[in-house]
Structure 1
C-alpha cells in the first residue's frame, strides 16, 4: 500500500526510481484492503460534510494535493480545482456549497461503479480505492466518483472527487416510448411527421454541423425535450467523413467512439473505417429520429435580440431561404474550421499539383510521382504510407517541429482499459469524467520513461532517419491542446526507418520553382506534387464569416485547455448569450452533450441567466 510521502514524491516531487516503491517489487504481498468498508466510511464522512454544510470538513476529506471536478453542481460551469486553497475558495464563493443543498449521498450500485481497489494507471504503482456515488441537490440529481489514497497516518483521502449534475428534477431524460400512439389509433409515420414539422417551424436550438458532435448533441436534446434542428452543408449526413482520405480509420477503439444511446454491433471492427463511420452516422439520424437538413447552411449574419432572447437566422436550404427564430445556436462543426494552407512564394511557378489533405482522394493518383507531404501528424503519416503503397516514386515528409509517436497498439491497451467491453459506455463515461486532464498530465509525465522504453526501438529508427521525436506530452493532451503534434503509428514508422519515406526536418517550404520546392534553409527538392497535411484553422476564425466580428469578439478561446485542464469555450457559456460551441472527438461530445443540454434547459426554466 502506498504511504503519503512516497505518493507525493511520485506525483508531485522530483523524478524517482519507482522500483524502490513498496508496491512495485514487494518482499511480501500487501494485504488487500477492505475497499467497500473504506469507500463506505469515507463517503459517509464526505456526505455528512456536504449536507451540514461544512466547507472545512468537506475539504478535509480531500488530499491536500487532490482535485475536485465539478460539472454544474456548485456553479453553472465545469471546473477542476486542485489543492485545498482553491477548493475552499471555490466552495466559499457565493455560498456555493450551502446553496447546492447536497443530500442523500450514497454509494452507486450499478455494475462498474461499485467500490474497487486497484491501480489508477497501468504504468505506475499508484493504487486507490474508487467508487461511484449518487446524491440529490437543490436542482435535482447527481452522479459522482472518487478515488481514495492512503496517507502516512493511515487515513484515506480523495485524490479525485468528481460531482456532476445528472438531471434537473421534473425534467429528466425521457428514455424510450411505448410505441403505441393515440391509444393505438395513430400511425408512427403521422406522429413523426407532425413532430418534424413542429421542429422545422420553430426549433429551440439550431445546431450547425451533422458530424458526430452535432448528432450527439441533437440526440441528447431530444431526450431532454429540447427541440433541435441540425443543418449540414454536405449533401448527405456522414459526408464530413466520406470526403476525407480513403484509408482513414479511427485510431481509437470502437467502444470509446460510441454514439449516444446506440452501441456498435459485436462484429464491428475495432478501428472504424472512414466509410463505415459515415454510413453509421447516416443511419443514426434515422434510428434516433433526428431532424437534419442537408445541403443547408446559415446565411450571414444571424442577429440576436437581447429583448426576446431569440436569434433571427436565415437558413439556405438547398437554395430556399428559411427564416427561423431559435433561442440558441450551437456551432458543432468540430473544433476545426477551414483548411490551413501556408502562403508560399512563387506557387504559381510550380508545374506540379498542390492540395490540402482534405482534398486528397488516395495515393493511386500519385503513382510514379515525387511527392512532398508537409506535416508530421496522424494525417501526414497515413498519407505517406498510402502514397508508398500505391507506388509513388518518392515520398518525403516535411517535419517542421517535434512529433510524439506511439504505436496504436499501445494506445489501444490504455483506451480499452478505460472503456472495457463488459461495462456500459455511460458507466465508463462517469469514470472518465473523474480523470481530470490536469492530473493525467502529471501521471503520464511520471510514466514517460516507461513508455519511451517500450517505444525505444521505433524511436531510435525514426531519429536515425532524421525525425525529431518530442516528449513531455502524451497524445491525449496534444489532441486537446492543439489537434496535432503526434501520430499513433500503424506502419509509417517502419517505412521511415527503412528509407521508403524520407524526412526533411527543421525547415519549411519557402518558395517554389517550376519543378521543385525550396526550403527556408536554402536546400531544394524536386517534386511533382505537394500535399499540405497542415491541419485546419480554428473554428472561431471560420465562424466570423457567419456571425460577424461583433459576435465572435464576445466569444473567448474555443478548444484547447484552460488553466484548470478543462476544454475552453466548449459546452459552457461563451460570453455571447444563446451562442454555444460543441467540439471534440466522440467521447467528449457524448459526455459533454449532457452538460450543454442541462444549461440550455436551465435557461429555458429560468434557473440560469446569462
Structure 2
C-alpha cells in the first residue's frame, strides 16, 4: 500500500505578508523613496524576511530565512564578491496582490560583482511595517560573466568543431533538459556533444502511449531562445507535437547529437580533471574524454517501478507497466484493472473507456491530489525570459504558498465537483498541493483534463485499497484483502501506473562507481532550505551536473549550469558558499571545480 505523502514545504518559515495596500498606491514613488541602494542593515528587513540567491552571490542555489540570517548573509556575500553598481529600477516597480489582505511591492534592480566579474539582477519586495517600508523578500540572479557571450541569446554559430575524441562537456540525454543545456553551451562557445540511445530527437516522447499529451498549457513548454511551439500547435501538446517542435529546434540551432549511442560506463581522473566515457554505438564501444558531464536523463531515468504480488505466473491475462503500454485496442470488450491514480493512470483509463472495454477499474492506493487543469495559475503576459525570472527566482516555499492559495480557493468555491468524485468512491486530497507533488514526490497527482467526468458517470470504477490491499493474482484477476472476507476483482489486463525510479544518483553509481556517487547529492525532493536536492547547481564533485524536471525547469536552470561550465572551462573561479551566514566557523568555500568531497543526506 502507498504511504501518505508528507511534504516538507509546510515546515519552512515562509509567511505571506498581511498588507492592505491602498488602491492606487504609487509603486514607483515608493521605490524612489527606498534609496539605500543595497547597503541594507538588519533594520531594513522584516523579521520573517527571505533571500533566494540564484548563483549570483553564493555560486549555487540557496534560500535564507529570518532578518538576522538574511542581513548577515547579504553583508557577507556582498563583501566577498565585491558588489558594486547597485541600481534600483523604480519605474518598473509593481504592486502584487495575490489575495485580499495580502500584498507587496516588487522592485527590480541590477548590480555587478568583481570576484568574479559578473552582471546580476534581482528583485526586492517591500511591505509596510513599523517605521516604514521594509524588505520582506530579496532575490538575486546571476545574469552573465563579463567578457563572454550571452547565455540567453540564440547561438550565432554552429557547434565548435571538435575531433570527436575530447569535449569540454558531454550531455547525456536529448530530451528537453539535454537540448536546453546544449543550446546554451553552444551560445557560450563551449564544445559539447549530446549522447542518447534514441535514433532521433523526440523519440523518447514518441515511445510513450499513443494518446499521451501534456497536462500543462503550450506556453509553459518552450525550449530556450523564444517560442518553440507557435500558435499553430494545440494548447495541450501531444507526443507528436513535442517531437516535431524539439526536432525543429535542434535542427535550427544545429545541436550536436550522437544518436543510437549509450553511455555504458565512465571514470573520473581527479589529477587531470578529466572524464573518460565509454559509449556503445552500433554494437561497438569507444571512449571519449571531457571535462564536464551533464546528466539530463530525468529524475530517475526511465526504469519502471511497481509492486509485485504472489501468483503472477498463474494469471491468464496481460500484465504491463505504463512504460510498455501503447494503446488499448487489443482489449476491446475485455476487463481492465489499473493500479494507480495519477496522471498516467487517468490517461490509460480514459483510453480504455473510449476503446470500449467491458469494464475499467482504477485501484486507488492513497488519496489523490486532483487539480482541474483550468485551476492552474496562468503565467503573466511577459516575455518567456521575464516570466521565468519572476517564477523561478522565488523561493520554492513562496511559490508553494502562492500556488496553494490560488488553487485551494477554487477548490473550496467548487466543492460539488469533488464531492461527486467522493460519492463515486474516489478519495480526493483537496489540499491543492500540486506544487509539492511536482517538487517533492515527482508526481502522484492528476491535472484533470477530462477523466474525472468518466469516474463520476460510472464509466470507470474505483477500488480503494485503504485499509485493504491486493494480496495475490488469481488465474482471472486480483484478490484483495478485506478484513475477515477477501474479494476478487476479475480482469483480462492489469496495468501498473506506479511510476519510475526516482533517484538518478543511483544511475551515477552504476555508471561511474562509488567515489563519484559519494561526491554527489541525492536527486530531487526538497532539502531543509527549500531547494531541490542535487538539481541545477554544483555538486561537491564539481564536474558533474544534473538537470531535469518540467520544461520550465529545463529552460531556466539550464542557463546556470551552462554559465558555470563556461566559467570552469575558462578558469574563472566561482566559489560555492555552503556556510551559515553570520557563523564564520561554519563557512566553507569550495572552488567551482569542486574538491571531490563526499556529501550524503
TM bin, normalised by shorter chain, reads: 0.7 to 0.9
Partner of 1:237: 201
Q: Secondary structure at the match of 1:560?
A: coil
Q: Secondary structure at the match of 1:327?
A: strand
Structure 2 residue 69 is the aligned partner of structure 1 residue 77: no
Is the CA contact 2:174–2:194 (under 8 Å) kept in the aligned structure 1?
yes
CA–CA distance in structure 2, aligned partners of residues 132 and 255 of structure 1: 24
CA spacing shift, 1:367–1:203, aligned 2, 3 Å? same
CA–CA distance in structure 2, aligned partners of residues 435 and 84 of structure 1: 17
Structure 2 residue 456 is the aligned partner of structure 1 residue 497: yes
Partner of 2:580: none
Structure 2 residue 337 is the aligned partner of structure 1 residue 356: no
Determine which of 99, 102, 107 is the counterpart of 1:131: 107
Higher strand share: 2
CA–CA distance in structure 2, aligned partners of residues 63 and 22 of structure 1: 16
CA spacing shift, 1:434–1:311, aligned 2, 3 Å? closer
Is the CA contact 1:66–1:83 (under 8 Å) kept in the aligned structure 2?
yes
Structural mapping, 1:107-146, within 5 Å: 107-108=88-89, 114-119=92-97, 121=98, 123-138=99-114, 139-146=117-124
Partner of 2:143: 166
Partner of 1:581: 546
What TM-score, normalized to structure 1? Answer: 0.85
- For residue 557 of structure 1, report the CA deviation from its aligned partner: 1.1
Is the CA contact 1:571–1:580 (under 8 Å) kept in the aligned structure 2?
yes
Partner of 2:82: 101
- For residue 217 of structure 1, report the CA deviation from its aligned partner: 0.7
Partner of 2:221: 257
RMSD, matched Cα? 2.4
Structure 2 residue 310 is the aligned partner of structure 1 residue 345: yes
Partner of 1:515: 476
Deviations 1:194-244 (A, max 9, x none): x56517332111111000011001011111222221001112210111111
CA spacing shift, 1:381–1:587, aligned 2, 3 Å? same
- For residue 568 of structure 1, report the CA deviation from its aligned partner: 0.8
Partner of 2:26: 34
CA spacing shift, 1:106–1:336, aligned 2, 3 Å? same
Determine which of 38, 43, 57 is the counterpart of 1:60: 43
CA–CA distance in structure 2, aligned partners of residues 427 and 13 of structure 1: 23
CA spacing shift, 1:419–1:22, aligned 2, 3 Å? closer
Is the CA contact 2:371–2:432 (under 8 Å) kept in the aligned structure 1?
no
Structural mapping, 1:443-454, within 5 Å: 443-445=402-404, 449-454=408-413
CA–CA distance in structure 2, aligned partners of residues 386 and 212 of structure 1: 26
- For residue 358 of structure 1, report the CA deviation from its aligned partner: 1.4
Deviations 1:250-282 (A, max 9, x none): 111122211101312233222211111012111
Q: Secondary structure at the match of 1:322?
A: strand
Give structure 2 stretches of 5+ with no counterpart: 1-12, 574-591, 595-601
CA–CA distance in structure 2, aligned partners of residues 67 and 541 of structure 1: 33
What TM-score, normalized to structure 2? Answer: 0.87
- For residue 363 of structure 1, report the CA deviation from its aligned partner: 2.4
Deviations 1:28-52 (A, max 9, x none): xx4411111212332x3142x0xxx
Give structure 1 stretches of 5+ with no counterpart: 1-9, 24-29, 50-56, 180-191
- For residue 12 of structure 1, report the CA deviation from its aligned partner: 4.4
Partner of 1:151: 129
Partner of 2:278: 314
Q: Secondary structure at the match of 1:326?
A: strand
CA–CA distance in structure 2, aligned partners of residues 152 and 176 of structure 1: 47
Determine which of 525, 529, 535 is the counterpart of 1:564: 529
Determine which of 358, 361, 365 is the counterpart of 2:330: 365
Higher helix share: 1
- For residue 287 of structure 1, report the CA deviation from its aligned partner: 0.7
Partner of 1:53: none
Task: Give the length in aligned residue pairs.
Answer: 552
Is the CA contact 1:45–1:61 (under 8 Å) kept in the aligned structure 2?
no
Determine which of 252, 263, 266 is the counterpart of 1:287: 252
CA–CA distance in structure 1, aligned partners of residues 407 and 548 of structure 2: 28
Is the CA contact 1:305–1:311 (under 8 Å) kept in the aligned structure 2?
yes
CA–CA distance in structure 1, aligned partners of residues 33 and 163 of structure 2: 49
